[in-house]
Structure formats: structure tokens, C-alpha cells
Amino acid sequence: MPALGVELVDMDGTSCCGPFAIQSLDYTGWLALAARNLCIAEKMGLDIMALCNDCYESLMMVNQTLRTDKETRDKVNEILSVVNKKFKGTVNVKHTMDVLCDDVGLDKIRNKVAKPLNGLRVATQVGCHLVRPKLLHTEIGKGFEVLDDLVQALGAEPVQYDDKEICCGGPLRDIDDHLSRNLSNRKLAALKRANVDCVVTACPFCYIQFDVGQLEIKTLLKEEYDIPVLHFVELLSFAMGIKLEGPQLREHRVSIDSIVRKLA
């Protein structure tokens, strides 16, 4: 990110933002918890960049809700008072993709590409919570093409596939693993048909679902795909010629050597 002129500051003392599992249990509780994180950013006077779609969805929804709905805002602030915090609504919540597309801009990204990913067939998985939450039904919402555009900017070829706009299945983990796996399986099968070099996600959760998921599916459903899964940021760093070392690469359950080789 710094190479693209974006300075990132780690938010100290944040908690989890409250993914849908949390939202499901208690409305105000969720609002208050997420609002607390927003307050920290407000204190820092910085917009929030969320890498994870769930964090983004949660924070964005809460931010919008509390900005527009005074009654709820007062209720939440009343709760926040126990930790001497107060929601003001002074910061914006952005997803990494928003920052890349809107703040950095595709042109700048194109310029920064050191090693164009020519000939790389990439399938994209944007992740539902970046494009579909209710409050995004205004024009502020991004479309499924957002990631394709970015991938293209890196010189790779975005590949269309069936069920592209369908969920990765992640949210059903620990609730109905069987269903969760079947969903991923469906998508992976579609990816196979489209014979892609890799699938790139904008959401760490989709990333895990596909990456870890492929192992589970291999063992439980006896289906083997071997489709490398990358988060877009990884692909970006490849293209910008930033060497990924140590921990990042080890994270991949499905080897991405094929990609590394192809790009070398």
C-alpha cells in the first residue's frame, strides 16, 4: 500500500467488528460493539480501511445506520458511555477495493505494475458483503466487475464462470458444514470447468473457504481441484514485483507454486 501512496495506521485496541453471526444475536449489542471501533477511528481522525468484507459490511452498516437514525444513535451512545466513548459519525468506512479503485485509481495501479501478469487466467470472487448489503443499494455500492477491472489492470485475464456471483459458502461454517462444503464444491467445479490458473478473492473469508475448503472437500467429498487461491493483495504484490516472503506464502493450503512459476 505505501508503494501506492496509501499510509496505513494500525488501529490500536479494536475488537472484532461483529460478523453476521454476532449481528444475528443482538441488534443493539452489535451496533454498540462495532460503533466502539468506529469511535477509535474517529479519535484518530482517520477513515477506516477494512480488508475483510465482513468487517467492512458490519462497520459500514453501523456507520450508516447510526448516522441516519438518531434514536438508535442515542441508545448506542448511552451504552458506549460506560467506556467513555461517543459515536459522532465523522469517519468513512472503506473496503480495500474502494481504496484501490477510488483513492488510488486504476491508472496509478497500471503505472505501478512492474511485472504484468500477462497470460494469467484469473477467476475473481468479490465476496457478497462488498456488493450486496442493503445499504449499498444506492449508487455507492460496487459491482461484481470491480475485481475484474483490477485484475485486468495488472495485465491478467479475468475469466467468467458459472455461479460467479454466488456465495463461497463460508458463512455456514460451524453451522451447517455439509451445506457449506457443497456450496464451495459447486463453485470450485465451475472454476475447474472454466479452467483458470487461480481464483482471486477480495475477502479473506472467501479465501479461507476456498483454500482450506479444498482440503476438506478432498478428504470428505473425494473431489480434487488444486485451484490456487490468492487474495487480491497478493496478486497485486506479484505484479508490483514485491517479494512475498516467509509467513504469507506458508499460509496457502493449496500450493501456489504453479502461479509463481508461471510468473517467473
Question: Which of 3, 5, 6, 15 is in the footprint of another protein by CB under 8 A?
Answer: 15
Applying CB under 8 A, among 6, 16, 114, 140 the residue interacting with another protein is: 16
Of 23 and 214, which CB lies nearer to another protein in the complex structure? 23
Q: Does 21 bind another protein (CB under 8 A)?
A: yes
| Cβ–Cβ under 8 Å, residues 97 and 142 | yes
Q: How far is the CB of 264 from another protein (least distance, A)?
A: 23
Choices 108-116, 117-125, 179-187, 230-238 (CB under 8 A): range interacting with another protein: 179-187
Q: Residues 33-72 vs another protein: string with x where CB under 8 A?
A: x--x------------------------------------
Q: Which residues contact 14 (CB under 8 A, 6 or more apart)?
A: 37, 40
Q: Which residues bind another protein (CB under 8 A)?
A: 10, 12-16, 18-30, 32-33, 36, 79-80, 82-83, 128-129, 132-134, 137, 162-163, 165-167, 169, 171-176, 179, 182-183, 186, 246-247
